[in-house]
Amino acid sequence: MTTLIPHELQALLKDPPIPLTALAPMQDVTTLEFMRVVDRCGPPDLFFTEFFRVHPHSRLEPHILASITENPSDRPIFAQLIGEDLEHMERATRELLNFPIAGIDLNMGCPAPKVYKKNVGGGLLRDLPKVDALLGLLRSICPGLFTVKMRIGFDSTDNFAALLDLINRHHVDLLSLHARTVKEMYRSEVHYAFIRQAVDTVVCPVLANGDISSVEKAVWALQYTGAKGVMVGRAAIRNPWIFRQIREYFTDQTVFAPTLGDVRAYIDQLRTATYVDGLPELNHISRMKKFINFIGQSVDPAGTFLHKIRRSKDYKTFFSTCDAYMTGEHAHKLFASEPHKNVVARPNRE
């Protein structure tokens, strides 16, 4: 049976009592297992799935569906689609409407070359007629909320005003805006003025996305842009408590300050979350390193932990390195709220 959106959620997006938070959709990261970890640390107001790839031969990926049907929290979850074929986008959307989703989210921001070269994700931003057609189609068949996540342009911002006009024309319910172009990927500074322009232009609420790295950065971005909330991506890998912290700040509570001991416990949760039956030890370690790559930015200012952990090739070395920096006399040291200067992940920006 199709799940319609409660009016309470629509009202919440338009007029939240405190700024909204959302976990950004990230391929191979925002799985059901990672959502469970984030839920235990303090969930965001909104979850978004990894994107469902839509093409003539596509089927809804079971592991992404699991994050919907087994949603570990009581928070709404949006199903994100990536594609450009109208017939099959309609097919996938109608199939998803049979699941307990908060709405459909269209990906118009993925900057991976293998994605945008297929004219999907961020590649759509070069093709305004296709954007117009897709928004029109999805709006017409979504009985509940229809949302969009996009960047400010492909290789320039020349189309930005026209894109905002299309967001209004098709009555999009929520816009998550990553304020870089597709070609800038994660390398440039974030152009927050474009988020402010969007807030001043579109009728729907806007979430600010891009380098929301801490409570302090979230507060600044919200004040500068006027956005209704923030969407956090890789910073939530580094600090899964960030949604709890933002909520505590805006409700005048003491903001939780994680210690390195808390981080060590988080790494144990990631060990479980990233393992699948039969996965060889080295492959599992490589998968965990994708997370540690960001966590390590806030462990020690010299970056020696990250240097050592990247070179570990077995469980014993990997976890003994974690223990050396996060247990014993180090367990009560505070985990830095921002990445240490010159200690970078790859990519080094969200």
pLDDT band at 10; cut points 50, 70, 90: confident
303 and 342 Cβ atoms separated by less than 8 Å: yes
Q: What is the pTM of this model?
A: 0.94
7-250: what CATH class? Answer: alpha beta
* Known catalytic residue at 322: no
Instruction: Give the tokens for residue 249.
Output: 């700040």
170 and 332 Cβ atoms separated by less than 8 Å: no
Give pLDDT tens digits for 84-135.
999 999 999 999 999 999 999 999 999 999 999 999 999 999 999 999 999 9
Best CA proximity match to 299, nearest among 256, 330, 255, 257: 330
Q: Indicate the helix (H) or strand (E) that contains 79.
A: strand 77-82
Return the pLDDT at 34.
Answer: 97
Alpha carbon distance 13, 108 (integer Å):
20
Active-site residue, selected from the candidate residues 110, 142, 204, 322: 110
Domain boundaries, the chain: 7-250, 260-330
Give pLDDT tens digits for 266-281.
999 999 999 999 999 9
How does 270-297 read in b/e, with b if 16+ C-beta sit within 10 Å? bbebbeeeeeeeeebbebbbebbbbbbb
Choice among 5-9, 45-49, 152-156 with the minimum mean pLDDT: 5-9
pLDDT band at 4; cut points 50, 70, 90: very low
